[in-house]
Amino acid sequence: MSISNALQLLLAHPATPFALALMVMFAIDRATRAWTFHVSMRGAPPADRPAIMREHKNMWQIRRKPPTMY
């Protein structure tokens, strides 16, 4: 199956465009976070790097709301 045929099949499915949009948004978000980390580490003195690493680790964690009764 060629790429164009696969793309046509994907676009023919009604839920695909939204899913593709979410995947693209997710990829852009991850690339932005990685680039921000790269830029912040590049200009930082060695003493600041552990703090930057901690902040970067916290940034990647998913924050969840506490469960409610109903």
pLDDT in tens, 39-70: 777 777 777 778 877 877 776 666 666 666 66
Cα distances (angstroms) measured from residue 48 to each of 45, 51, 60: 6, 6, 19
Report residue 29 CA to chain centroid gap: 4
User: What confidence tens digit (pLDDT) does each residue in 9-24 have?
Assistant: 767 776 667 677 678 7
What's the pTM? 0.46
Confirm if 50 and 41 have CB atoms less than 8 A apart.
Answer: no
